[in-house]
Amino acid sequence: MVSGQETERVSRSQPFIQGLVWMAVAGGMMAGAGQAVLSPLWTAAIQVICMGVACGVLQQHPKRRSFALAWVFATAWLTSTFWWLFIALHTYGHLPSWLSAWAVFLLAGALALYYAIALAWHRRHVSNAPLMWRCVSFAACWTLAELARGEWFTGFPWGAIGYLHVDGWLSLAAPWVGVYGIGALAAGIASWLALTWLATKQETPSNHHDQKTSSIQRAKHRFTGALMVSAIICLPPLRFEQVGGEPIEVNLLQANVAQDLKFGSARAPTMAWYLDRLKESKAELTVLPETAIPWVPHDLPPGYWEAMQAPLQAQQRAAIVGIPTWEKDKGFANSALGLGFAEPLQYDKHHLVPFGEFTPPAAKWFTRMMKLDYGDFHRGSMDQPAFAWRNHQLGVTICYEDLFGEELAVRFLNPTSKPSVFVNLSNIAWFGNTPVVDQHLVIARMRSLEFERPTLRATNSGGTAIIDAQGRITHQLAPFTQGALEGVVRAGQDHTTIYAHWAGRWGLGPLWLLCLGLCAWVWRSQKTV
């Protein structure tokens, strides 16, 4: 027979287990919405609803449970966001499937600790504050976790919640506060919805007349809240057309080479294909993807490099080519070389991918398990000058670098070389036919919104596109196809956005200070009540 104590213990644990399930489902749905075939505006709405569910579950459970609940939500969300890392680890890194899956889960779980700590603090110390200030605290704590994930230990900000709002009204804040500021606004809206719903639900007047009146008031509050959120999130904003600078005719190449063949049997035919497209192109600027040429320049077949430059010099055109480089005192670098420019130009990737382009000393054992032929790359400086070409300043980034808007903002400090166009060279064939293509494209759109600069993306397998200064895709090549994307882009205006002004000088420090200050103020205000 089951004792009374055991029955009581089981009954007490059931709400907590239900809360964990709710958190896991909400976290998975929040990530899944961004990967489903839905309107971007609907995905943003689903995201806010899922965050609201998480906020509501936290509020309804004891404080001592808040850490576990928040960790489950964040782990489910992050695992579902970048599950495609499994493909790189297993398919190309040759790790066993179980170990690859565990590696992705452990990474997500480790990063989820930021959110668990921040939200547990919010629940424990600000739970009795007025509703508005609880919303402020929730948004600030969530943003602190996002900032920590994006900056600490080299940072891995992939999937920050602000990215799903590139098409809604919140995107208008991008030139002012950047993606993390947008995320803070989204978190504040989500918590306001959840806490308002709970507050109206808990109102239970004693007499029938008051109950009827209260029901009407609750209905009004919920309708008003739903209407406001729909207007903010689910309706596209009004945008005013901006007259940009000179138009540039561009040609973006996408070879669609399988990653396991790129440095082997496909190398020679792919290089021949790039050379033929370069000769055929009439565009002013041609862009090849990251490591499009898989040889360092001095190891190229005789005459190949000269053959690439000849049509450019004859027709006064230019090209940016992704290629590894090597220097005796620096070693290898993931680089982009400018051909056809007034002088030789080289950009070396600054923000390297952990375990892909460099390995922390304490984790060398892990990379030795993967059968990948690479070493640690040389890191370029953060403030490398733009590629000056005619009347344009081409700000080059390589793949993963465009996740870090605060680092790109540094380039706007020098008024003579601040970018007028971003040029991103990527190769995400490591992750197969997965949502990573669309996720990375959204990230590039956010960078265009933050700095009000167009972006050219040349990729190996997908996401090749032209993005205007308002974050809209004007031209795009179908993913996982071989082809050339021809189009026209107008360089961005000469002004510098507010976000570029403060992020270029102080990085994300102002957001850190603001969020910490808000948390401290709300906490102290609650203690004095």
- Return the number of other C-beta atoms located less than 10 Å from residue 305's C-beta: 18
**Cα angle 150, 155, 160; round to 5:** 35
Contact 514, 176 (CB under 8 A): no
In angstroms, the CA 287 to CA 339 distance is 10
Q: E strands along 152-296, which residues?
A: 247-254, 285-287
Give the list of residues 6+ apart from residue 81 with CB closer than 8 angstroms, or none.
31, 34, 108, 158, 159, 439
How far is Cα 288 from Cα 274, in angstroms, rounded to an integer?
A: 8
Residues in the chain: 529
SS3 of residue 9 by DSSP: helix
Q: Is residue 493 exposed (0-12), middle (13-18) or buried (19+ Cβ within 10 Å)?
A: middle
User: Please, what's the b/e burial string for 77-114 (b: 16 or more CB within 10 A of its CB; e: otherwise)?
Assistant: bbbbbbbbbbbbbbbbbebeeeebbebbeebbbebbbb
Nearest in space to 84 (alpha carbons), one of 362, 438, 376, 458: 438
* Pairing mode, strands 473-476 and 345-348: unpaired
**Cβ atoms of residues 131 and 526 within 8 Å:** no
What whole-number distance in Å separates Cα of residue 462 and Cα of residue 427? 8
CB atoms within 10 A of CB 240: 5
DSSP assignment letter at 245: S
DSSP 437-493: HHHHHHHHHHHHHHHT--EEEEESSS--EEE-TTS-EEEEPPTT--EEEEEEEEPPP
Whose CA is closest to 34, among 24, 44, 48, 49? 44
Known catalytic residues are 290, 349, 399
Cβ–Cβ < 8 Å for 129, 171 = no
Nearest to 229 by CA among 185, 198, 178: 185
Collect all residues with Cβ–Cβ distance below 8 Å to 302 and sequence separation of at least 6: none
Cα 33 versus chain centre, distance? 15
